[in-house]
Amino acid sequence: MEAYVMDAFSARIFGGNQAGVVLPDRPLSDAVMRQIAAEFKHSETAFVTREPDGSVSLRYFTPAGEVELCGHATVASFALLRQLGSVPDGDCTAHTKAGELTVTVRGDTVWMDMAPPQLLADIPSDERAALYAAYGLTEGDCPAGYIPRIVSTGLADIMLPVRDHDTLMRAVQNAPAVTELSRKYDVTGVHMFCPGADGVTAWCSNYAPLYDIPEECATGTSNGALTYYLYLRGDVKPGEENVFLQGEHMSRPSEIRSVLYEKDGAVTVRIGGRAVASMSCDLRL
């Protein structure tokens, strides 16, 4: 059966966030899918089945077991199906254990809905110094008019603003301290960003040491949350496309796109990106 390594949220190989994508030619047991994911050793591997009605069923496995949903593996899967000619441009229903998703393919870009955005809390002013210190920074590295806030589009993260790209790049994480702060605030991790320029909405770095992810090179849910953070500031306009660059610390540059929509008082966020195949193989089971 066909299997691929896809670099998601990137237009070139060796960038973005890697995911395995398997196109089973027969039913596979959960144990076999987990074994395949462990062989790939990527954070997630997607198992993709085309249904007779044109929809797509996806299951996602880490080396340790199944997860209900994975954004970058979804982008990787649909980008691969588009490249193979298996799905046309337009909307497609994706069946996952997290529910049905509407995934939209437009050329070489795949778009998917995030969970409804939520502003969960502001980090209290007397607790912000410890947060910046966990990255070797001070409160003086926060740009004027910004504050750290906890935002979610499915997973809660601390949005941590810094003043410029140089500050973003010189930040060094104290993983034990960030792990404890993540527990304290009940978040997945920290999404550090600085205001962008020249067509870039923001540059970002994402950290989730609580979940054994020292740093991640492309994070759809966190950039969805950042889209909502910036919308609340008036920096993001409904219907306009945003561009987030992430992964420079890891030498795996990634480009994540978003669009925020307003309708009847409700706000929704879509995340989009490209993906390319860096490897393919024949799994001989």
Q: Which pLDDT score, from 0 to 100, does residue 130 have?
A: 98
Structure tokens at 254: 């990634």
Tell me, yes or no, whether 103 and 152 share the same domain. Answer: no
Find how far residue 168's CA is from the centre of its chain. 19
Mean pLDDT of 173-198: 97
Q: Which pLDDT score, from 0 to 100, does residue 97 have?
A: 87
Tell me, yes or no, whether 134 and 109 share the same domain. Answer: no
Is a pLDDT exceeding 90 seen at residue 105?
yes
Q: Which residue(s) pair with 50 in the sheet?
A: 56
Q: How does residue 156 score in pLDDT terms, banded at 50, 70 and 90?
A: very high
**CA-closest candidate to residue 149, choices 94, 72, 230:** 230
The span from the CA of 158 to the CA of 33, in Å, is 33
CB hemisphere CA count around 241 (13 angstroms): 9
3-state secondary structure 198-224: CCCCEEEEEEEHHHCEEEECCCHHHHH
Q: Which pLDDT score, from 0 to 100, does residue 98 have?
A: 82
Tell me, yes or no, whether 198 and 224 share the same domain. Answer: yes
Tell me, yes or no, whether 78 and 174 share the same domain. Answer: no
Mean pLDDT of 171-175: 98
Q: For the chain, what percent of residues have pLDDT higher than 90?
A: 86
Tell me, yes or no, whether 129 and 259 share the same domain. Answer: yes
Q: How does residue 247 score in pLDDT terms, banded at 50, 70 and 90?
A: very high
Segments forming the whole domain that contains residue 265: 118-272
Q: For the chain, what percent of residues have pLDDT higher than 70?
A: 100
Tell me, yes or no, whether 106 and 26 share the same domain. Answer: yes
- For the chain, state the CA radius of gyration: 19
Mean pLDDT of 49-57: 96
Which phi and psi (to 5°) does residue 284 adopt? -110, 90
Strands (E), 2-108: 2-8, 17-23, 45-50, 56-62, 65-67, 90-96, 99-106
The span from the CA of 258 to the CA of 241, in Å, is 6
Tell me, yes or no, whether 151 and 266 share the same domain. Answer: yes
Tell me, yes or no, whether 181 and 131 share the same domain. Answer: yes
What average pLDDT is seen over the chain? 95
The span from the CA of 110 to the CA of 101, in Å, is 13
Q: Which pLDDT score, from 0 to 100, does residue 51 have?
A: 95
- Scanning the chain, the segments in alpha helix (DSSP H) are 30-40, 71-83, 128-133, 165-170, 175-185, 220-233
Q: How does residue 43 score in pLDDT terms, banded at 50, 70 and 90?
A: confident
Tell me, yes or no, whether 109 and 124 share the same domain. Answer: no
Q: Provide the 10 A C-beta neighbour count for residue 184.
A: 10
Count structural domains, the chain. Answer: 2
Q: Which pLDDT score, from 0 to 100, does residue 139 have?
A: 97
Tell me, yes or no, whether 204 and 88 share the same domain. Answer: no
**CA-closest candidate to residue 22, choices 44, 3, 50:** 3
Tell me, yes or no, whether 41 and 162 share the same domain. Answer: no
Tell me, yes or no, whether 122 and 252 share the same domain. Answer: yes
Is a pLDDT exceeding 90 seen at residue 211?
no
CATH assignment of the domain containing 83:
3.10.310.10
